[in-house]
Amino acid sequence: MTTLCFYHPDNEAHDPGKGHSERAARITAIVKALRALPQPSIAWRESPLADHEALFLTHTPAYIDFVFKSVPQSGYCTIELDETVCCDDDAGELTVLCPRSGDAVLRSVGGALQAVDEVVTGKADNAFCLTRPPGHHAMQGKAMGFCVVNNVAIAARYAQKAHGLKRIAIVDFDVHHGNGTQAIFEKDTSVFFISLHQLPLWPESGYEDEVGAGNILNIPIPPNTPREAWLTQWREKAMARLEREDFDLLLVSAGFDAHKDDPKGSQNLETEDYATLMCDLKGMAERKCQGRLIALLEGGYNIEASATSAAAVMGVLSDQ
């Protein structure tokens, strides 16, 4: 049993500014928690730099050109507005670039693509990619919600193009709707997407009637839902539907901000619940797609809760 963990220090060098929620301490704490686990079945990999062309799998060349031209020589630049705004201090709670952000984006994608290569070819059983900046809000041609490029969407397209996989399933349990992932795939039945998320909550999308071409399942969860009720929705809707689908690879947008201690949402999951979610997903992958499962980090803004939850996920992936 081999579980890969993809990470690079460049992912910590992405700096959105003082006081920004999506801060480097998120991933620093997760790396520390994962390295504290028993290591025999965990193999660490340094995320390589992806080629810019890999980003074209789901994003327009014009958008990618805009992103990398917007990376500042110094200070900060927000790319979430109609026009870029550069400043010396910080750019607020938006999607922000600093001088090291370009490499962080390419490392996130590079790690995800190498994870696909190794898991699909059977060199590893599964993988956890410490992708930062996160990705599931990024559209084909627009940054949103701290996300520059859509890591999980690029991984799905790469698995199809490079390895000939016919159908990919993506499950997103971040507290926020994976609106970018949905928008990219909503007309493409070769990708099946499930999102459990809080509503009402930014980005105010992901209602049950948003079904795409029949390949989208949204499960909105009201604020302050008890954890038992949340898990019931998970089992009776998400897992029941996934059981009826066929797919060759299971990708997971693993955000930890539905944790009871997270400041961004109003949900009540405990750390051990993330182990339950991953246990269910791992079992599903074993039944459906030869165990091929790759988790990619999304949100999670309470440092300790995210670190312990990520460790719980990794413990399940690596059979600890």
**Opening angle at CA 186, ends 211 and 197, nearest 5:** 60
By three-state DSSP, how is residue 218 classified?
A: strand
- Tell me the torsion sign for CA atoms 4, 5, 9, 11: positive
161's CB contacts (< 8 A; 6+ apart) are 57
Q: Write the burial class of residue 235 (CB in 10 Å: 0-12 exposed, 13-18 middle, 19+ buried).
A: exposed
The answer to whether residues 179 and 209 touch, using CB atoms and an 8 Å cutoff, is no
Task: Tell me, yes or no, if 137 is annotated catalytic.
Answer: yes
Q: Write the burial class of residue 202 (CB in 10 Å: 0-12 exposed, 13-18 middle, 19+ buried).
A: middle
Please list the residues that pair with 251 across neighbouring strands: 170, 294
HSE-up of 121 (CA within 13 Å, CB side)? 9
Considering the candidates 137, 176, 177, 259, report the single residue annotated as catalytic: 137
CA distance 65 to 245: 37
Compute CA distances 84 → 58, 92, 96, 103, 114, whole Å: 22, 13, 10, 19, 32
Dihedral over alpha carbons 148, 153, 154, 159 (to 10 degrees)? 170
Which among 242, 230, 319 has a CA at the least distance from the CA of 279? 319
CA distance 227 to 268: 5
Q: Is the peptide bond before 134 cis (omega within 30 degrees of 0)?
A: no
- The two structure tokens encoding residue 102: 């370009």
Which residues are known to be catalytic?
A: 137
